[in-house]
Structure 1
């Protein structure tokens, strides 16, 4: 992957059961085995999935709305501008706990040092 610019207008929302997703990229880079970015919009009361874990590290940046972060059972209510970091293989999820849509940017990466998935 080379440097690039991705405009909001060019990222068509794909409807999901819980809201929508805008896929930005999912590809290797010169220094990472995989770099993935997408933007999720959740309807009020919805979560993208239950608590789960994966070997990738992940950043979530809240754009709008109010979400509840669940990091290994510890719940935190977060709003726009908040950042969540999910370390490799740690149990986590987010949920829209507001009255309006919640939108957040997700950046995930995998490198040669990324461990295997844990059950």
Structure 2
């Protein structure tokens, strides 16, 4: 029950974080797709199945984008799932202007947050403020899966310190 509750917690956090968020729907069929929304419109309400995500392959990991673009209240929005093979990372620790939440669905590893390494395991949630250095490395024996939501509020520019 704790794992399910944790999952619902991150979904609730994500929904709160992406307040008034709407997603892109493919109007050519009954399927929904992850779409890079580069037009002037915002992401429209929809449901995206895993089979319809956009996959980006990295060395030792994959990222599946469910939603990308602008919503009513956010810009630079991305919602996705990362799968990292053992002894790998999706990229080295990094920084960006967007706020971000990461929820470990499965696996274990090491979080890096502002230079401090901390054990990471299924059910953990990481919140990252703008420009904080962060990353995750899979030290486990199985693939690590984590869910991510990242966005900036429209009209709010966070200067790099």
Scaled by the length of structure 1, the TM-score of the pair is 0.88
**132, 139, 151: which one aligns with 1:97:** 139
The count of corresponding residues between Structure 1 and Structure 2 is 118
**Alpha-carbon contact 1:56-1:114 (below 8 Å) kept:** no
Mapping for residues 1-119 of structure 1, pairs under 5 Å: 1-11=43-53, 13-111=55-153, 112-118=155-161
Unaligned runs of 5+ residues in structure 2 are: 1-42
Equivalents in 2 of 1:3, 1:89: separation in Å? Answer: 29
The structure whose residues are more often helix, as a share, is: 2
**Alpha-carbon contact 2:101-2:127 (below 8 Å) kept:** yes
C-alpha distance after superposition, 1:28-81 (max 9, x if no partner)? 011112311121111111112222111111000111110211001211112122
- Moved >4 Å (runs of 4+): none
Structure-2 change in CA distance of 1:75 and 1:22 (3 Å): same
- Partner of residue 3, structure 2: none
Scaled by the length of structure 2, the TM-score of the pair is 0.67
Unaligned runs of 5+ residues in structure 1 are: none
The structure whose residues are more often strand, as a share, is: 1
